[in-house]
Amino acid sequence: MTVEPPSPSSGWAVPAVPLRATAKRYAARRAWALTGSIVLAVLCAMLAMAVGGGDTGKGSTFPPALQVIATVGVFPMIGVSVMLVWRHRFPLLISIIATALTLVLPTTPLPALISLAAVTAIRRGWLMWVMVAATYLATVSSFVWDLTSRMSYLGSFADYPAAGTPARMALFWVAPLIAALVVAPFAAFGIARRIRRERDAAQQGNVAGSRNIAVLHQEVSLERARQELARELHDTLAARLSTLSLHAGALELTVNPDNEQAVAAARTVRESAQTSLDDLRHVVNVLRNPTAASVEAGTGLNNLGQLVNASLREGTDVRAQVLIGDPASCDPVVAHACYRLVQESISNVRRHAPAATLYVDVRGSPETGLTMSAVNWLVPGAPSASDGGGHGLTGMSERAALVGGTFQAGVTPEGSFAVVAWLPWKPQSLN
């Protein structure tokens, strides 16, 4: 029976994690954020052009040189407005440029205020407060320029007093207060974003810490259970298997040499008891020291022939075909897992279908991994040697999953019971 490694078309592949909806939501948020940044950039550019145009031309209160500066200053402010699209990637740089231009040019403070929100969202400490103070001074400077111009935007809130009149001059005293009221929401918005992000990160850290603590508690409980199980196995089964091996050896010496069947049966009992005792010692070693014991996995691919021969001597009809390229390069843990899968398949046939013939096929290479199949035809009405607890197939599935493999078992449409497993040549870590 030829078994191919898992492939997406054969139904062996692990289902992919449903990330498409999450990716769509993330893309939608990115699109909305980009759209908002572009809208802000266009708004700031239009406002910069409006302010620059209002400070020039006939009727302007600015001298000609200052009008030229106001006109020329529109172009760098348009550039800064476009740079706002990347304010979250380079917040400090864009904020410094926008604040510096607002300090020296009669223009709008909106780009500096928007970039300040991006700075306070990621910065803390003295640098953040320096940028807040610099943006405040730039806003005050922008309001002063506005109050000295012919078309004052602040003056529109005071019934448009003419430039140079006492009513207009009185507004200079409230410009610092208005600037503080304007800067505060932008700075607070960025600080609130940073606090919320830090809070979310702290909550995630708490969740991760709680999860790690739970895992540690579970590992401690499992370690205690392993140690207790190792003691029980060593103190009970090991002693009984040693006694069984001694009695089987004595039986082999006292049986009539002319009775070849009895001699062979006694030898089989002694060898099986000794092998079981060795396996039990290995299991106890694994339970007591899983990390160190996993390196020497015990039996492997080279022992499959001995396993089949021992099964034939014990009366189980096993027809095996082993085709493995470069078995020495296979990871010992994977090779041991394959050996145990074959061994458990033979044990299952011996317990549940003792009269059936088991066909075992093991093949693999570093390129394809290991494939193992064990098939026996179901014999109607055949007595079962024992009633298993149903743990054999579960253990086989878990053993295959531990090294990153796959496992399937069940009745086929042709009327046989098949066990099919695929194991990687090197173990894969499972999350």
125: exposed, middle or buried (Cβ count in 10 Å: 0-12, 13-18, 19+): exposed
CA–CA separation, 154 and 148 (whole Å)? 10
Q: Is 315 left (phi over 0), alpha (psi -120 to 50) or beta?
A: left
Strand partners, 409: 419
* Residue 389 exposed, middle or buried by CB count within 10 Å (0-12, 13-18, 19+): exposed
| Chain mean position to CA 157 | 56
**Residues 423, 370 contacting (CB under 8 angstroms):** yes
106's CB contacts (< 8 A; 6+ apart) are 51, 52, 55, 62, 66, 69, 70, 73, 142, 145, 146, 149
> pLDDT of 37-90, one tens digit each?
888 888 888 888 877 766 666 656 666 777 777 777 788 888 888 888 888 889
Check if the beta carbon of residue 183 is closer than 8 Å to that of residue 112: no
Q: Regarding the domain with residue range 301-423, which homologous superfamily does it belong to in the CATH classification?
A: Histidine kinase-like ATPase, C-terminal domain (3.30.565.10)
Question: Going edge to edge, which strands form the sheet with 318-324?
Answer: 318-324, 358-365, 369-377, 416-423, 406-411
Kindly report the backbone phi and psi dihedral angles of residue 158, in degrees, each rounded to the nearest multiple of 5, phi listed first: -125, 40
Domain map (residue ranges) of the chain? 22-211, 301-423
Give how far Cα 359 sits from Cα of 119, 253, 322, 397, Å: 71, 35, 11, 20
pLDDT of residue 216: 87
Residues in the chain predicted with pLDDT less than 70, given as ranges, are: 1-22, 53-63, 150, 152-165, 167-168, 233-235, 238-239, 241, 274, 277-279, 282-284, 286-298, 379-391, 428-431
Q: Which pLDDT value is given to residue 382?
A: 54
The CA–CA distances, whole Å, from 61 to 11, 140, 172 equal 80, 19, 16
Q: Provide φ and ψ at 220, rounded to 5°.
A: -65, -45
Look at residue 60 in the predicted model and tell me its pLDDT.
63
262 φ/ψ angles, rounded to the nearest 5 degrees: -70, -40
pLDDT digits (tens, 9 = 90+) for 195-244: 998 888 888 888 888 888 888 888 888 778 777 777 776 667 766 767 77
| Residues counted in the chain | 431
Report the relative pairing of strands 369-377 and 358-365 from DSSP bridges.
antiparallel
